[in-house]
Amino acid sequence: MGFRKIGWIFFFAFLGLNIFLFSIYKAADGQDDVVYRSDQKVPIEERLDSEDITYHGEFSEKQHKGYYLSGNPTDMQEALDDERDRQDDSNLLEEQTSIDDQTLTHSVTEENALTDTSQTETMVDRFLGDQDEVLFGDEYSYLSDASSFSGEYPSLIAAQSYEGIPIDDSSSRIEIELSEQDDRWQFDNYTQTHVSDLIPLREAIPLYSEEEIMNTLYVNNKIPNDSEIKWSHLAYTLTLKVRGQNVYVPAWTVAIEDEDGQTQIEKVNALTNRVITNSSVQTVENS
């Protein structure tokens, strides 16, 4: 069989898979049942102020572009074996490392500690760049909004990204657990997941802006009175698993702290402007 004919076979197989994934996603997305009222004329800032809801700065009207993405969950044992071969080091991450299918857990043996939290991003980037400590480290970037030095389990989060938009999802992140020791934050261990072969399922689509999704959260009673909007960011999130592949959509994630100091996290699909906070990841198994 000629190479040209083989090439066409792979092309149509790839195209068919993308069409299938997209049709499955659209069917699942159509199940959303959250009301969005677009006829509201009062600026969102005025509505928030009227109910003593505080926020920082101004809500952006910028419309980014994003994709429906698909990718393959990485087999971390296979990835580690490949990296050992590449570095010709059979002892790479041999100590204090365990792997459970798609999740790698490693206890940090080298001295890594923060003495100045303003240098967190620099410290995390340096740690991720250490090929003896982290696989695929150059694919991850520090995600400050998702990280925390407070609470019972302080941790730093780093995420993969696609064309500048991070993937804020447990299927594609490094979470570094911290402990406070003598005014220093020590890196204790980390868990890592990774997604490979990220590809868009169709062309880029204009996304709803931060201002528009804040309006959606407000009219759907997702922002309590006397609360504070702590932060928001745009990132990809996992919504569908189809025969071993992950499907991601861009979504706005918003952290809201109520008057009792409790923080709630809300998510809005940036493609459809629908609230997806409590939506489960749908799975299509092999037939």
Look at 6 and 133; give whichever has higher pLDDT.
Answer: 133
Rg (CA), the chain: 21
Model pTM score: 0.85
Count CA atoms within 13 Å of residue 266 on its CB side: 26
Sign of CA dihedral 170, 164, 187, 87: positive
Given a cut of 50, whether residue 33 has pLDDT beyond it is no
Question: What gap in Å lies between CA 25 and CA 48, rounded to an integer?
Answer: 33
CA 246 to chain centre: 12
Amino acid at 216: T
Domain count, the chain: 2
Q: Are residues 238 and 172 in the same domain?
A: no
Contact 194, 158 (CB under 8 A): no
Least-confidence region, from 38-47, 115-124, 176-185, 248-257: 38-47
**Does one domain contain both 122 and 184?**
yes
Instruction: Check pLDDT > 80 for residue 2.
Output: no
Show which of 181, 197, 213 is a domain's final residue.
Answer: 197
SS3 breakdown of the chain: % helix, strand, coil, rounded to 5? 25, 35, 40
Per-residue pLDDT at 271 = 96
- pLDDT given at position 111: 83
Q: What is the pLDDT of residue 42?
A: 83
Determine the straight-line distance between the first and last CA of the chain, rounded to whole angstroms. Answer: 30
Q: Are residues 165 and 227 in the same domain?
A: no
Is the domain of 182 the same as that of 259? Answer: no
Contact of 173 with 87, CB cutoff 8 Å: no
How many percent of the chain have pLDDT more than 70?
A: 85
The CATH number given to whatever domain includes residue 34 is 2.40.128.690
Instruction: Please give the single-letter amino acid code of residue 264.
Output: Q
Task: Report how far residue 250's alpha carbon sits from residue 34's, in angstroms, rounded to the nearest whole number.
Answer: 17
pLDDT single digits (tens) 178-217? 999 888 999 999 999 999 999 999 999 999 999 999 999 9
Query: Cα–Cα distance between 227 and 48 in angstroms, integer?
Result: 9
Question: What is residue 17's predicted lDDT score, i.e. its pLDDT?
Answer: 57
- For position 158, which CATH number holds? 3.30.310.160
Do 175 and 250 lie in one domain? The reply is: no
Do 89 and 188 lie in one domain? The reply is yes
Residue 73 banded pLDDT, cuts 50, 70, 90: very high
Same domain, 224 and 190: no
> Within this chain, do residues 189 and 142 fall inside the same structural domain, yes or no?
yes
Per-residue pLDDT tens over the stretch 222-232: 999 999 999 99
Among 153, 177, 197, the domain-final residue is 197
101 and 182 in a single domain? The answer is: yes
Query: Are 21 and 126 part of one and the same domain?
Result: no
Residues 247 and 228 in one domain: yes
Question: Does 264 share its domain with 162?
Answer: no
Separation CA 93–CA 77 (nearest Å): 11
User: What CA–CA distance (Å, rounded) separates 276 from 69?
Assistant: 17
Confidence of residue 165 (pLDDT cuts 50, 70, 90): very high
Task: Provide the 3-class DSSP secondary structure of residue 172.
Answer: coil
Question: Where among 135, 164, 197 does a domain terminate?
Answer: 197
Q: Has residue 39 got a pLDDT over 70? A: no
In which domain, by residue range, is 45 found? 3-68+201-284
Instruction: Report yes or no: 70 and 21 within 8 Å, Cβ to Cβ.
Output: yes
Say if residue 31's pLDDT is above 50: no
* Percentage above 90 pLDDT, the chain: 76
Distance CA 19, CA 157 (A): 33
